[in-house]
Amino acid sequence: MEADAPETGYHRKKQPELVHRALLDHAAKLAVEQGLSAVTMQAVAEAAGVTKGGLLHHFPSKQALISAVFADLLDALDRQLDARIAADPEPEGAFTRAYLDSVFDTGPDAALWAALSISLLTDPNLRRLWSDWVSARQERHRATDGSRALAAVRLAADGIWLADLTGVTLNERAEMRDFLIRQTREGKS
């Protein structure tokens, strides 16, 4: 092939990592903009500019694609939590404070969390991914965040997340966050 030859489907250098990333990003974008039901294999393939066969090479089913988007979101959450933990000068309860901050933060992934969370409640595979993630984090942070009091704070955060997801208005939101943060420093048992 000549150096100046145009890139065509036949001569283009394959970049599977970039295609994989594009498929995840387009599936996530469809879920946020149009709901999870809009995430079809054909729609994702078209949005990413690949053939349906190309998509199936990376993800053999819609379930595999949705699971990969959810796992990608969990990886992003891990990175966010790790950064917040590293910035916390007090190791005791740092994971719980980072988790609280993530729940109260309505950042760019909030809409994607909402779209996938509905499926999380009904899809056994996504529930298993979430449960495995939670269990691994609890084990990983047991030394600093293993108390019942800190577990109760994280469960309260999950309740707030569910309220946000279902559109329930939490009065005095900032005060609730501050109260729960104080509990991570006061409630050590």
Whether the per-residue pLDDT at 87 is higher than 80: the answer is yes
pLDDT-based confidence at residue 41 (cuts at 50, 70, 90) = very high
- Do 15 and 56 fall within a single domain? yes
- Do 45 and 118 fall within a single domain? no
| 173 vs 178, more confident | 178
- pTM (predicted TM-score): 0.80
Q: What is the predicted pLDDT for the residue at 188?
A: 57
- Do 115 and 44 fall within a single domain? no
Per the structure, the complete domain to which residue 98 belongs is given by 69-186
- Do 114 and 145 fall within a single domain? yes
- Do 21 and 41 fall within a single domain? yes
d(CA 126, CA 149): 27
- Do 104 and 141 fall within a single domain? yes
Mean pLDDT, rounded, of the chain: 86
Q: How many domains does the chain have?
A: 2
Whether the per-residue pLDDT at 96 is higher than 90: the answer is yes
Q: What is the predicted pLDDT for the residue at 182?
A: 95
- Do 98 and 44 fall within a single domain? no
Burial of 161-174, coded b for 16+ CB within 10 Å and e otherwise, reads beebeeeeeeeeee
Q: Is 25 exposed, middle or buried (0-12, 13-18, 19+ CB in 10 A)?
A: middle
Cα distances (Å, whole numbers) of residue 121 to 47, 59, 78, 124, 131: 27, 22, 21, 8, 12
Encoded amino acid at 138, one letter: Q
- Do 33 and 98 fall within a single domain? no
